[in-house]
Structure 1
Amino acid sequence: MIRPYILAESNWKSIKDAGFDLAVLPWGATEAHNYHLPYATDNILAENIAAEAARIAWEKGAKPIVLPNIPFGVNTGQLDIRLDMNIYPSTQLIILNDIVETLNRHGITKLVILNSHGGNDFKVMARELGAKYPDMFITVCNWFRWKGRDDFFEHKGDHADEMETSLLLHLAPELVLPLNEAGEGKEKKQKIEALREGWFWAERRWSKVTEDTGIGDPKASTSEKGKRFFETITEKIAGVFLELGKSDIDHMYEY
Protein backbone atom coordinates (compact mmCIF):
# COMPACT_ATOMS: atom_id res chain seq x y z
CA MET A 1 0.00 0.00 0.00
CA ILE A 2 1.38 3.42 -1.00
CA ARG A 3 1.97 5.74 1.92
CA PRO A 4 1.16 9.26 0.68
CA TYR A 5 3.55 10.89 3.14
CA ILE A 6 6.59 8.97 1.78
CA LEU A 7 8.00 10.65 -1.34
CA ALA A 8 9.83 7.55 -2.57
CA GLU A 9 6.58 5.57 -2.67
CA SER A 10 4.49 8.36 -4.21
CA ASN A 11 3.91 9.13 -7.87
CA TRP A 12 3.59 12.17 -10.08
CA LYS A 13 -0.19 11.79 -10.30
CA SER A 14 -0.57 12.29 -6.55
CA ILE A 15 2.35 14.67 -6.02
CA LYS A 16 1.82 17.25 -8.78
CA ASP A 17 -1.10 19.00 -7.09
CA ALA A 18 -0.41 18.01 -3.48
CA GLY A 19 0.12 20.54 -0.73
CA PHE A 20 2.54 19.72 2.08
CA ASP A 21 3.03 21.45 5.43
CA LEU A 22 6.66 20.45 5.81
CA ALA A 23 9.37 18.16 4.52
CA VAL A 24 11.19 15.63 6.69
CA LEU A 25 14.74 14.62 5.75
CA PRO A 26 16.02 11.50 7.55
CA TRP A 27 19.82 11.51 7.74
CA GLY A 28 21.83 8.59 9.07
CA ALA A 29 25.27 7.06 8.58
CA THR A 30 26.92 3.83 7.50
CA GLU A 31 29.29 2.62 10.21
CA ALA A 32 30.18 -0.24 12.54
CA HIS A 33 27.87 -0.69 15.55
CA ASN A 34 29.67 -2.99 17.96
CA TYR A 35 29.83 -6.61 16.75
CA HIS A 36 26.12 -7.33 16.76
CA LEU A 37 24.33 -4.50 14.93
CA PRO A 38 24.39 -3.75 11.18
CA TYR A 39 26.30 -0.91 9.56
CA ALA A 40 22.93 0.54 8.50
CA THR A 41 21.65 0.92 12.08
CA ASP A 42 21.40 4.72 11.92
CA ASN A 43 19.67 4.57 8.55
CA ILE A 44 17.14 1.97 9.67
CA LEU A 45 16.29 4.10 12.70
CA ALA A 46 16.10 7.34 10.72
CA GLU A 47 13.80 5.87 8.08
CA ASN A 48 11.48 4.10 10.50
CA ILE A 49 11.17 6.94 13.00
CA ALA A 50 10.55 9.50 10.26
CA ALA A 51 7.94 7.33 8.55
CA GLU A 52 6.04 6.42 11.71
CA ALA A 53 6.02 9.98 13.06
CA ALA A 54 4.80 11.22 9.68
CA ARG A 55 2.06 8.57 9.62
CA ILE A 56 0.79 9.61 13.05
CA ALA A 57 0.88 13.30 12.11
CA TRP A 58 -0.79 12.63 8.74
CA GLU A 59 -3.65 10.75 10.35
CA LYS A 60 -4.19 13.72 12.69
CA GLY A 61 -4.45 16.16 9.78
CA ALA A 62 -0.89 17.29 9.10
CA LYS A 63 0.66 17.04 5.62
CA PRO A 64 4.33 16.06 5.99
CA ILE A 65 6.35 14.57 3.15
CA VAL A 66 9.28 12.32 4.10
CA LEU A 67 12.24 12.55 1.73
CA PRO A 68 14.58 9.61 1.06
CA ASN A 69 17.13 8.98 3.80
CA ILE A 70 20.71 10.18 3.29
CA PRO A 71 22.77 7.08 4.23
CA PHE A 72 26.22 8.62 4.76
CA GLY A 73 27.31 10.80 7.66
CA VAL A 74 30.35 12.53 9.15
CA ASN A 75 32.73 9.85 10.46
CA THR A 76 35.99 11.78 10.65
CA GLY A 77 36.73 10.23 14.04
CA GLN A 78 36.39 6.72 12.60
CA LEU A 79 38.51 6.85 9.46
CA ASP A 80 40.47 3.77 10.50
CA ILE A 81 37.35 1.65 11.20
CA ARG A 82 36.96 -0.60 8.19
CA LEU A 83 34.30 0.66 5.74
CA ASP A 84 32.88 3.31 8.03
CA MET A 85 31.72 5.63 5.25
CA ASN A 86 32.70 9.25 5.77
CA ILE A 87 31.43 12.41 4.12
CA TYR A 88 32.82 15.73 5.29
CA PRO A 89 30.68 18.50 6.80
CA SER A 90 31.44 20.60 3.73
CA THR A 91 29.96 17.83 1.56
CA GLN A 92 26.90 17.64 3.80
CA LEU A 93 26.38 21.36 3.38
CA ILE A 94 26.45 21.06 -0.42
CA ILE A 95 23.91 18.21 -0.35
CA LEU A 96 21.70 19.99 2.15
CA ASN A 97 21.86 23.25 0.19
CA ASP A 98 20.62 21.52 -2.95
CA ILE A 99 17.74 19.89 -1.07
CA VAL A 100 16.74 23.17 0.59
CA GLU A 101 16.93 24.97 -2.76
CA THR A 102 14.62 22.38 -4.33
CA LEU A 103 12.09 22.56 -1.49
CA ASN A 104 12.16 26.35 -1.56
CA ARG A 105 11.56 26.38 -5.31
CA HIS A 106 8.48 24.21 -4.86
CA GLY A 107 7.03 26.25 -2.03
CA ILE A 108 7.80 23.93 0.90
CA THR A 109 9.31 26.32 3.41
CA LYS A 110 9.56 24.11 6.52
CA LEU A 111 12.20 21.40 6.79
CA VAL A 112 12.88 18.98 9.63
CA ILE A 113 16.25 17.24 9.45
CA LEU A 114 15.66 14.03 11.39
CA ASN A 115 19.20 13.15 12.41
CA SER A 116 20.13 9.67 13.62
CA HIS A 117 23.92 9.97 13.83
CA GLY A 118 25.86 11.70 16.59
CA GLY A 119 28.66 12.71 14.21
CA ASN A 120 26.27 14.81 12.13
CA ASP A 121 26.03 18.40 13.35
CA PHE A 122 23.63 20.51 11.32
CA LYS A 123 23.47 23.64 13.50
CA VAL A 124 26.04 25.70 11.61
CA MET A 125 24.61 24.53 8.28
CA ALA A 126 21.10 25.54 9.32
CA ARG A 127 22.41 28.99 10.24
CA GLU A 128 24.12 29.41 6.86
CA LEU A 129 21.18 28.12 4.84
CA GLY A 130 18.74 30.16 6.91
CA ALA A 131 20.62 33.28 5.85
CA LYS A 132 20.71 32.16 2.23
CA TYR A 133 17.02 31.17 2.15
CA PRO A 134 15.36 33.56 4.63
CA ASP A 135 11.86 32.28 3.88
CA MET A 136 12.85 28.75 4.97
CA PHE A 137 12.39 27.43 8.51
CA ILE A 138 14.96 24.70 9.13
CA THR A 139 14.97 22.68 12.34
CA VAL A 140 17.00 19.66 13.44
CA CYS A 141 15.63 16.73 15.44
CA ASN A 142 18.29 14.74 17.30
CA TRP A 143 15.74 12.24 18.57
CA PHE A 144 18.35 10.14 20.39
CA ARG A 145 19.02 13.09 22.71
CA TRP A 146 15.44 13.31 23.97
CA LYS A 147 15.74 13.73 27.74
CA GLY A 148 13.15 11.03 28.51
CA ARG A 149 15.12 8.20 26.90
CA ASP A 150 16.83 7.17 30.13
CA ASP A 151 13.48 6.17 31.64
CA PHE A 152 13.29 3.26 29.19
CA PHE A 153 16.73 1.68 29.55
CA GLU A 154 18.96 0.39 32.33
CA HIS A 155 22.37 1.24 30.87
CA LYS A 156 23.49 4.54 29.39
CA GLY A 157 25.46 4.75 26.17
CA ASP A 158 25.49 6.47 22.83
CA HIS A 159 26.46 3.94 20.17
CA ALA A 160 25.19 0.39 19.68
CA ASP A 161 23.97 0.67 23.24
CA GLU A 162 20.87 -0.69 24.94
CA MET A 163 18.63 1.87 23.25
CA GLU A 164 19.83 1.28 19.68
CA THR A 165 19.96 -2.47 20.17
CA SER A 166 16.45 -2.59 21.61
CA LEU A 167 15.13 -0.52 18.71
CA LEU A 168 16.79 -2.81 16.18
CA LEU A 169 15.44 -5.88 17.99
CA HIS A 170 11.99 -4.35 17.47
CA LEU A 171 12.40 -2.98 13.93
CA ALA A 172 14.84 -5.39 12.24
CA PRO A 173 15.54 -8.37 14.52
CA GLU A 174 16.77 -10.45 11.58
CA LEU A 175 19.81 -8.13 11.32
CA VAL A 176 20.86 -8.40 14.99
CA LEU A 177 23.33 -11.05 16.11
CA PRO A 178 22.72 -12.85 19.43
CA LEU A 179 23.59 -10.54 22.30
CA ASN A 180 26.19 -12.96 23.64
CA GLU A 181 28.22 -12.09 20.54
CA ALA A 182 28.16 -8.35 21.32
CA GLY A 183 31.10 -6.57 22.87
CA GLU A 184 30.74 -4.89 26.25
CA GLY A 185 30.72 -1.38 24.79
CA LYS A 186 33.22 -0.06 27.34
CA GLU A 187 34.28 3.55 26.82
CA LYS A 188 37.58 5.14 27.80
CA LYS A 189 37.06 8.67 29.12
CA GLN A 190 39.09 11.78 28.37
CA LYS A 191 41.90 12.40 30.85
CA ILE A 192 41.44 16.18 30.68
CA GLU A 193 38.71 17.23 33.11
CA ALA A 194 37.34 20.11 31.03
CA LEU A 195 36.83 17.76 28.09
CA ARG A 196 35.07 15.24 30.32
CA GLU A 197 32.78 17.99 31.63
CA GLY A 198 31.87 19.10 28.12
CA TRP A 199 32.69 22.78 28.21
CA PHE A 200 35.80 22.01 26.17
CA TRP A 201 35.26 19.78 23.15
CA ALA A 202 37.42 17.58 20.95
CA GLU A 203 36.34 14.86 18.55
CA ARG A 204 36.59 11.32 19.91
CA ARG A 205 39.09 9.07 18.13
CA TRP A 206 36.87 6.04 18.03
CA SER A 207 39.46 3.25 17.99
CA LYS A 208 41.19 4.82 21.01
CA VAL A 209 37.94 5.09 22.97
CA THR A 210 36.33 1.68 22.36
CA GLU A 211 37.64 -1.75 21.41
CA ASP A 212 34.42 -3.07 19.83
CA THR A 213 33.15 0.24 18.28
CA GLY A 214 30.28 0.28 20.79
CA ILE A 215 29.73 2.73 23.64
CA GLY A 216 27.23 1.39 26.15
CA ASP A 217 26.44 -2.12 27.38
CA PRO A 218 23.76 -3.67 25.11
CA LYS A 219 23.19 -6.89 27.09
CA ALA A 220 19.92 -5.80 28.74
CA SER A 221 18.33 -4.92 25.38
CA THR A 222 14.93 -6.37 24.47
CA SER A 223 12.49 -5.90 21.61
CA GLU A 224 9.82 -4.95 24.16
CA LYS A 225 11.91 -2.00 25.38
CA GLY A 226 12.51 -1.02 21.77
CA LYS A 227 8.81 -1.15 20.94
CA ARG A 228 7.84 1.02 23.92
CA PHE A 229 10.49 3.60 23.16
CA PHE A 230 9.72 3.62 19.42
CA GLU A 231 6.03 4.23 20.08
CA THR A 232 6.81 7.02 22.54
CA ILE A 233 9.44 8.86 20.51
CA THR A 234 7.43 8.75 17.29
CA GLU A 235 4.36 10.14 19.09
CA LYS A 236 6.52 12.94 20.49
CA ILE A 237 7.97 13.78 17.09
CA ALA A 238 4.58 13.56 15.40
CA GLY A 239 3.30 16.15 17.86
CA VAL A 240 6.04 18.54 16.77
CA PHE A 241 5.24 17.86 13.10
CA LEU A 242 1.65 18.85 13.84
CA GLU A 243 2.72 22.05 15.59
CA LEU A 244 5.13 22.97 12.80
CA GLY A 245 2.54 22.26 10.14
CA LYS A 246 0.12 24.73 11.72
CA SER A 247 2.73 27.38 12.52
CA ASP A 248 3.28 30.61 10.65
CA ILE A 249 7.05 30.86 10.26
CA ASP A 250 6.83 34.64 10.49
CA HIS A 251 5.27 34.36 13.95
CA MET A 252 7.22 31.62 15.73
CA TYR A 253 7.91 33.49 18.98
CA GLU A 254 5.87 34.61 21.96
CA TYR A 255 6.32 36.07 25.43
Structure 2
Amino acid sequence: MQARPYILAETTWQHVKDANYEVVVLPWGATEAHNYHLPYATDNYQVDYVAAEAARLAWEAGAKVVVLPTIPFGVNTGQLDITLDINLNPSTQLAILRDIVQVLARQGIPKLVVLNGHGGNDFRQHLRELQAEFPQVFLSTLNWFRAADRGQFFTAPGDHADALETSAMLHIAPSLVRPLGEAGSGHAKQFRIAALREGWAWAQREWSQVTEDTGSGNPAEATAEKGAALLAAVTANIAQFLTELAAADVRDLYE
Protein backbone atom coordinates (compact mmCIF):
# COMPACT_ATOMS: atom_id res chain seq x y z
CA MET A 1 0.00 0.00 0.00
CA GLN A 2 1.33 3.41 -0.96
CA ALA A 3 1.21 6.05 1.76
CA ARG A 4 -1.31 8.82 1.17
CA PRO A 5 0.24 12.23 2.01
CA TYR A 6 -3.08 13.60 3.27
CA ILE A 7 -3.56 10.78 5.85
CA LEU A 8 -1.46 11.51 8.92
CA ALA A 9 -1.41 7.90 10.11
CA GLU A 10 0.36 6.86 6.89
CA THR A 11 2.90 9.67 6.65
CA THR A 12 6.30 10.19 8.24
CA TRP A 13 8.05 13.11 9.89
CA GLN A 14 10.18 13.50 6.77
CA HIS A 15 7.03 14.56 4.90
CA VAL A 16 5.11 16.26 7.70
CA LYS A 17 7.87 18.62 8.83
CA ASP A 18 7.75 20.53 5.55
CA ALA A 19 4.10 20.04 4.61
CA ASN A 20 2.70 23.38 5.86
CA TYR A 21 -0.82 22.06 6.22
CA GLU A 22 -3.62 24.61 6.05
CA VAL A 23 -6.51 22.41 7.22
CA VAL A 24 -6.59 19.56 9.72
CA VAL A 25 -9.60 17.22 9.52
CA LEU A 26 -10.62 15.31 12.64
CA PRO A 27 -13.12 12.51 11.90
CA TRP A 28 -15.29 11.64 14.90
CA GLY A 29 -17.53 8.59 15.00
CA ALA A 30 -19.13 6.30 17.57
CA THR A 31 -19.28 2.67 18.66
CA GLU A 32 -22.89 1.47 18.91
CA ALA A 33 -25.38 -1.15 17.77
CA HIS A 34 -26.76 -0.63 14.24
CA ASN A 35 -29.80 -2.90 13.91
CA TYR A 36 -29.07 -6.60 13.30
CA HIS A 37 -27.24 -6.20 10.00
CA LEU A 38 -24.59 -3.47 10.43
CA PRO A 39 -21.48 -3.59 12.64
CA TYR A 40 -20.93 -1.57 15.80
CA ALA A 41 -18.21 0.44 14.04
CA THR A 42 -20.48 1.59 11.20
CA ASP A 43 -20.09 5.29 12.05
CA ASN A 44 -16.31 4.92 12.17
CA TYR A 45 -16.01 3.09 8.86
CA GLN A 46 -18.20 5.71 7.22
CA VAL A 47 -16.57 8.86 8.60
CA ASP A 48 -13.09 7.42 8.00
CA TYR A 49 -13.95 6.71 4.35
CA VAL A 50 -15.56 10.10 3.78
CA ALA A 51 -12.67 11.96 5.39
CA ALA A 52 -10.06 10.14 3.31
CA GLU A 53 -11.89 10.46 0.00
CA ALA A 54 -12.80 14.13 0.50
CA ALA A 55 -9.22 14.88 1.51
CA ARG A 56 -7.93 13.06 -1.57
CA LEU A 57 -10.07 15.17 -3.85
CA ALA A 58 -9.10 18.36 -2.03
CA TRP A 59 -5.40 17.42 -2.11
CA GLU A 60 -5.55 16.76 -5.82
CA ALA A 61 -7.11 20.23 -6.21
CA GLY A 62 -4.07 21.72 -4.46
CA ALA A 63 -5.40 22.06 -0.91
CA LYS A 64 -2.93 21.33 1.89
CA VAL A 65 -5.18 19.17 4.08
CA VAL A 66 -4.41 16.32 6.45
CA VAL A 67 -6.73 13.84 8.15
CA LEU A 68 -6.13 12.78 11.75
CA PRO A 69 -7.01 9.28 12.99
CA THR A 70 -10.72 8.82 13.64
CA ILE A 71 -11.95 9.08 17.22
CA PRO A 72 -14.13 5.96 17.58
CA PHE A 73 -16.38 6.86 20.54
CA GLY A 74 -19.21 9.37 20.63
CA VAL A 75 -22.06 10.66 22.77
CA ASN A 76 -24.40 7.75 23.51
CA THR A 77 -26.13 8.98 26.65
CA GLY A 78 -29.48 7.74 25.34
CA GLN A 79 -28.16 4.20 24.85
CA LEU A 80 -26.48 3.45 28.18
CA ASP A 81 -28.45 0.21 28.60
CA ILE A 82 -27.54 -1.21 25.18
CA THR A 83 -24.62 -3.58 25.62
CA LEU A 84 -21.24 -2.11 24.63
CA ASP A 85 -22.62 1.10 23.17
CA ILE A 86 -19.66 3.16 24.38
CA ASN A 87 -20.48 6.63 25.68
CA LEU A 88 -18.24 9.70 25.78
CA ASN A 89 -19.91 12.52 27.66
CA PRO A 90 -19.99 15.91 25.90
CA SER A 91 -17.65 17.28 28.57
CA THR A 92 -15.15 14.52 27.72
CA GLN A 93 -15.37 15.45 24.05
CA LEU A 94 -14.69 19.08 24.94
CA ALA A 95 -11.60 18.08 26.92
CA ILE A 96 -10.26 16.02 24.01
CA LEU A 97 -10.97 18.81 21.53
CA ARG A 98 -9.30 21.39 23.76
CA ASP A 99 -6.08 19.35 23.86
CA ILE A 100 -6.09 18.91 20.09
CA VAL A 101 -6.81 22.57 19.34
CA GLN A 102 -4.10 23.58 21.81
CA VAL A 103 -1.61 21.51 19.81
CA LEU A 104 -2.65 23.15 16.55
CA ALA A 105 -2.46 26.62 18.08
CA ARG A 106 1.01 25.98 19.46
CA GLN A 107 2.25 24.65 16.12
CA GLY A 108 0.71 27.38 13.97
CA ILE A 109 -1.74 25.19 12.04
CA PRO A 110 -4.54 27.60 11.22
CA LYS A 111 -7.75 25.61 10.54
CA LEU A 112 -9.58 22.61 11.97
CA VAL A 113 -12.64 20.79 10.64
CA VAL A 114 -14.36 18.32 12.96
CA LEU A 115 -15.97 15.84 10.56
CA ASN A 116 -18.85 14.25 12.41
CA GLY A 117 -20.14 10.77 11.66
CA HIS A 118 -22.63 10.22 14.50
CA GLY A 119 -26.01 11.81 15.08
CA GLY A 120 -25.52 11.96 18.85
CA ASN A 121 -22.45 14.19 18.51
CA ASP A 122 -22.90 17.96 18.32
CA PHE A 123 -19.68 19.95 18.36
CA ARG A 124 -21.05 23.44 17.76
CA GLN A 125 -21.15 24.57 21.38
CA HIS A 126 -17.72 23.05 22.03
CA LEU A 127 -16.28 25.01 19.13
CA ARG A 128 -17.92 28.23 20.31
CA GLU A 129 -16.11 27.89 23.61
CA LEU A 130 -12.80 26.87 22.07
CA GLN A 131 -12.90 29.57 19.38
CA ALA A 132 -12.87 32.22 22.10
CA GLU A 133 -10.00 30.44 23.84
CA PHE A 134 -7.92 29.83 20.70
CA PRO A 135 -8.72 32.65 18.22
CA GLN A 136 -5.65 31.82 16.14
CA VAL A 137 -7.21 28.52 14.94
CA PHE A 138 -10.35 28.70 12.77
CA LEU A 139 -12.77 26.03 13.99
CA SER A 140 -15.59 24.45 12.02
CA THR A 141 -17.63 21.27 11.93
CA LEU A 142 -19.92 19.39 9.56
CA ASN A 143 -22.01 16.22 9.51
CA TRP A 144 -21.01 14.11 6.52
CA PHE A 145 -24.47 12.54 6.25
CA ARG A 146 -26.00 15.98 5.62
CA ALA A 147 -23.53 17.04 2.95
CA ALA A 148 -25.85 15.84 0.17
CA ASP A 149 -29.63 15.62 -0.19
CA ARG A 150 -30.68 12.14 0.92
CA GLY A 151 -33.95 12.60 -0.95
CA GLN A 152 -32.07 12.20 -4.22
CA PHE A 153 -31.20 8.63 -3.27
CA PHE A 154 -33.74 7.30 -0.74
CA THR A 155 -37.49 7.49 -0.25
CA ALA A 156 -37.88 6.10 3.28
CA PRO A 157 -37.00 8.37 6.23
CA GLY A 158 -34.50 7.30 8.86
CA ASP A 159 -31.43 8.31 10.80
CA HIS A 160 -29.77 5.17 12.16
CA ALA A 161 -28.95 1.89 10.39
CA ASP A 162 -31.41 3.00 7.72
CA ALA A 163 -31.17 2.76 3.94
CA LEU A 164 -28.59 5.57 3.80
CA GLU A 165 -26.18 4.00 6.27
CA THR A 166 -26.76 0.52 4.92
CA SER A 167 -26.09 1.63 1.35
CA ALA A 168 -22.94 3.43 2.44
CA MET A 169 -21.67 0.32 4.20
CA LEU A 170 -22.54 -1.89 1.23
CA HIS A 171 -20.12 0.28 -0.76
CA ILE A 172 -17.44 0.77 1.92
CA ALA A 173 -17.31 -2.64 3.63
CA PRO A 174 -19.82 -5.06 2.07
CA SER A 175 -18.31 -8.07 3.81
CA LEU A 176 -19.38 -6.62 7.17
CA VAL A 177 -23.03 -6.18 6.19
CA ARG A 178 -25.35 -9.05 7.06
CA PRO A 179 -28.07 -10.00 4.54
CA LEU A 180 -30.93 -7.51 4.57
CA GLY A 181 -33.30 -10.37 5.30
CA GLU A 182 -31.76 -10.52 8.78
CA ALA A 183 -32.31 -6.82 9.46
CA GLY A 184 -35.08 -5.55 11.70
CA SER A 185 -37.64 -3.19 10.24
CA GLY A 186 -36.06 -0.16 11.88
CA HIS A 187 -39.45 0.97 13.15
CA ALA A 188 -38.94 3.85 15.57
CA LYS A 189 -41.64 5.13 17.91
CA GLN A 190 -42.33 8.87 17.94
CA PHE A 191 -42.80 11.18 20.92
CA ARG A 192 -46.39 11.48 22.15
CA ILE A 193 -45.83 15.19 22.85
CA ALA A 194 -46.49 17.19 19.69
CA ALA A 195 -43.69 19.76 20.05
CA LEU A 196 -41.09 17.01 20.54
CA ARG A 197 -42.53 14.97 17.68
CA GLU A 198 -42.54 17.99 15.35
CA GLY A 199 -38.96 18.87 16.25
CA TRP A 200 -39.31 22.44 17.52
CA ALA A 201 -38.78 21.20 21.06
CA TRP A 202 -36.04 18.73 21.89
CA ALA A 203 -35.41 15.96 24.37
CA GLN A 204 -33.04 13.03 24.22
CA ARG A 205 -34.51 9.83 22.82
CA GLU A 206 -34.18 6.83 25.11
CA TRP A 207 -33.18 4.37 22.44
CA SER A 208 -34.35 1.08 23.94
CA GLN A 209 -37.83 2.60 24.36
CA VAL A 210 -37.87 3.93 20.78
CA THR A 211 -36.77 0.87 18.79
CA GLU A 212 -36.63 -2.89 19.34
CA ASP A 213 -33.79 -3.60 16.90
CA THR A 214 -31.73 -0.41 17.56
CA GLY A 215 -32.49 0.84 14.04
CA SER A 216 -34.38 3.96 13.05
CA GLY A 217 -35.46 3.72 9.43
CA ASN A 218 -36.19 0.79 7.13
CA PRO A 219 -33.01 -0.38 5.33
CA ALA A 220 -34.88 -2.42 2.70
CA GLU A 221 -34.17 -0.12 -0.27
CA ALA A 222 -30.42 -0.06 0.35
CA THR A 223 -28.01 -1.02 -2.44
CA ALA A 224 -24.29 -0.72 -2.98
CA GLU A 225 -24.97 1.36 -6.09
CA LYS A 226 -26.96 3.91 -4.08
CA GLY A 227 -24.17 3.97 -1.52
CA ALA A 228 -21.57 4.69 -4.18
CA ALA A 229 -23.66 7.51 -5.63
CA LEU A 230 -24.40 9.03 -2.24
CA LEU A 231 -20.77 8.91 -1.15
CA ALA A 232 -19.57 10.40 -4.43
CA ALA A 233 -21.89 13.37 -3.92
CA VAL A 234 -20.99 13.76 -0.25
CA THR A 235 -17.23 13.60 -0.75
CA ALA A 236 -17.31 15.98 -3.72
CA ASN A 237 -19.20 18.55 -1.66
CA ILE A 238 -16.94 18.18 1.36
CA ALA A 239 -13.83 18.32 -0.83
CA GLN A 240 -15.06 21.60 -2.28
CA PHE A 241 -15.50 22.96 1.24
CA LEU A 242 -12.01 21.83 2.27
CA THR A 243 -10.49 23.34 -0.87
CA GLU A 244 -12.20 26.68 -0.34
CA LEU A 245 -11.34 26.69 3.36
CA ALA A 246 -7.68 25.94 2.69
CA ALA A 247 -7.46 28.90 0.33
CA ALA A 248 -9.53 31.27 2.47
CA ASP A 249 -8.29 34.20 4.48
CA VAL A 250 -10.15 33.64 7.73
CA ARG A 251 -9.88 37.37 8.46
CA ASP A 252 -11.97 38.08 5.36
CA LEU A 253 -14.78 35.51 5.21
CA TYR A 254 -17.81 37.71 4.63
CA GLU A 255 -19.13 39.63 1.65
TM class by smaller structure: over 0.9
Do residues 24 (structure 1) and 11 (structure 2) align? no
Give the corresponding residue for 1:175: 176
Q: Counterpart of 2:212 in structure 1: which amino acid?
A: E
Q: 1:147 deviation in Å?
A: 5.4
Give the corresponding residue for 1:99: 100
SS at match of 1:43: helix
Give the corresponding residue for 1:154: 155
SS at match of 2:208: helix
Number of residues paired by the alignment?
254
Alpha-carbon separation, structure 2, partners of 1:7 and 1:83: 29
Do residues 210 (structure 1) and 215 (structure 2) align? no
CA 1:112–1:212: 2 relative to 1, 3 Å: same
Does the Cα contact within 8 Å between 2:148 and 2:234 map onto a contact in 1? no
Q: Counterpart of 2:64 in structure 1: which amino acid?
A: K
Does the Cα contact within 8 Å between 2:145 and 2:234 map onto a contact in 1? no
Identity score, percent: 60
Q: 1:136 deviation in Å?
A: 1.4
Q: Counterpart of 1:161 in structure 2: which amino acid?
A: D
CA 1:162–1:119: 2 relative to 1, 3 Å: same
Structure 1, unmatched stretches of 5+, are: none
Do residues 124 (structure 1) and 115 (structure 2) align? no
Give the corresponding residue for 1:57: 58
Do residues 248 (structure 1) and 249 (structure 2) align? yes
Alpha-carbon separation, structure 2, partners of 1:37 and 1:233: 21
Alpha-carbon separation, structure 2, partners of 1:145 and 1:193: 25
**Which digits, 9 at most, give the CA deviation of each residue in 1:77-123, with x for residues without a partner?**
00000100001000000000001111111111111100000100101
Which deviates more from structure 2 when the two are superposed, residues 149-158 or residues 70-79?
149-158
Q: 1:185 deviation in Å?
A: 0.2
- Could you state the TM-score of these two structures normalised by the residue count of structure 2? 0.98
SS at match of 1:119: coil
Task: Tell me how large the CA RMSD over aligned residues is.
Answer: 0.8
Q: Counterpart of 1:171 in structure 2: which amino acid?
A: I
Does the Cα contact within 8 Å between 2:31 and 2:43 map onto a contact in 1? yes
Do residues 35 (structure 1) and 22 (structure 2) align? no
Alpha-carbon separation, structure 1, partners of 2:221 and 2:198: 27
Alpha-carbon separation, structure 1, partners of 2:19 and 2:246: 15
Alpha-carbon separation, structure 1, partners of 2:106 and 2:45: 29
Alpha-carbon separation, structure 2, partners of 1:150 and 1:87: 31
Alpha-carbon separation, structure 1, partners of 2:192 and 2:154: 27
Q: 1:196 deviation in Å?
A: 1.1
Give the corresponding residue for 2:134: 133
SS at match of 2:140: strand
- Could you state the TM-score of these two structures normalised by the residue count of structure 1? 0.98
Q: Counterpart of 2:205 in structure 1: which amino acid?
A: R
